[in-house]
């Protein structure tokens, strides 16, 4: 399996239109391990449930900070939208509870608005050069103009799936409009690539059913994009993550193994 591309100021999204596949838990664990490896990270929480924001901030309150990234904002406004978190080296643009209702409507109303987020991130590239290693987005499980904007802005898109067909099929409700948008934008002269490069099998149990489903998935069109490292099901680990009690990266931590194998 190929590694993630080595990029300074790399933008990563974990997404699936099926809820409950572990996007937030995986994102939190990836961020934790990378921060322990002295990587500098900014997290965008676009999920109105704000689970990631609540985990990373002691006194989370819903703010419109993230809305600025979907508008033609200046650099000072964008910088001021960022908050320090409880994790070393990790900063966040926290979730906004009305992002789907208010921000999505304003984005939808404008022509080519799906590229505003991408342009704002490019605008900030000089500000963050050699200061930020990775940018993560935590998404909600539904397709709209906000999520499309994030997809188009991301360098690497990881699709977490569980070992059953509904989880596998769920990503198609995201991938189809994403691919359609890329085709349309490239037809008007842009050069945008499909960055759905990886599938991560999560919540794996040691039983014959899961083994059989994983074998079937290897023979599908996503087989060559499946990461070798699979994340086992652990309700204890899920609870520990939301309480910000992480395993040491020196232990047999599957997230640590995932990063060692696939993220330079």
Mean pLDDT, to the nearest integer, of 154-163?
85
Domains along the chain? 10-249 (3.40.50.300)
Least confident of 4-18, 110-124, 212-226: 4-18
Three state DSSP letters for the chain: CCCCCCCCCEEEEECCCCCCCCHHHHHHHHHHHHHHCCCCEEEEECCCCCHHHHHHCCCCCCCCHHHHHHCCCCHHHHHHCCEECCCCCEEEECCCCCHHHHHHHHHHCCCCHHHHHHHHHHHCHHHHCCCCCEEEEECCCCCCHHHHHHHHHCCEEEEEECCCHHHHHHCHHHHHHHHHHHHHHHHCCCCCCCCEEEEEECCECCCHHHHHHHHHHHCCCCHHHECCCCCECCHHHHHHHHCCCCCCCCCCCHHHHHHHHHCC
pLDDT digits (tens, 9 = 90+) for 116-135: 999 999 999 888 878 898 89
Mean pLDDT, to the nearest integer, of 161-166?
73
pLDDT digits (tens, 9 = 90+) for 82-118: 999 999 999 999 999 998 888 877 777 777 899 999 9
State the average pLDDT for the chain: 82
């Amino acid at each position: 399996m190929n590694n993630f591309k080595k990029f300074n100021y790399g933008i990563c999204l974990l997404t699936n239109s099926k809820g409950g596949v572990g996007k937030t838990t995986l994102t939190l664990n990836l961020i934790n391990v990378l921060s322990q490896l002295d990587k500098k990270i900014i997290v965008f929480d676009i999920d109105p449930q704000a689970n990631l924001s609540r985990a990373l901030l002691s006194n989370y309150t819903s703010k419109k900070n993230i809305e600025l990234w979907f508008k033609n904002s200046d650099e000072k406004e964008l910088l001021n939208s960022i908050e320090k978190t409880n994790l070393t080296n990790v900063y966040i643009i926290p979730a906004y509870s009305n992002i789907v209702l208010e921000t999505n409507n304003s984005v939808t109303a404008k022509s080519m608005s799906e590229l505003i987020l991408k342009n704002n991130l490019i605008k900030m590239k000089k500000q963050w050069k050699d200061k930020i290693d990775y940018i993560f987005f935590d998404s909600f499980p539904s397709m709209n103009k906000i999520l499309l904007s994030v997809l188009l802005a991301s360098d690497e898109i990881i699709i977490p799936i569980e070992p059953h067909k509904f989880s596998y099929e769920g990503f198609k409700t995201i991938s189809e409009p994403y691919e359609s948008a890329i085709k349309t934008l490239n037809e008007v002269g842009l050069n945008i690539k499909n960055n759905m490069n990886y599938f991560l099998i999560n919540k794996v149990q040691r039983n014959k059913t899961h083994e059989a489903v994983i074998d079937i998935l290897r023979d599908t069109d996503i087989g060559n994009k499946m990461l070798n490292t699979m994340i086992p099901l652990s309700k204890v680990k899920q609870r520990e993550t939301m309480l910000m009690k992480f395993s040491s990266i020196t232990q047999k931590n599957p997230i640590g193994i995932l990063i060692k194998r696939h993220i330079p």
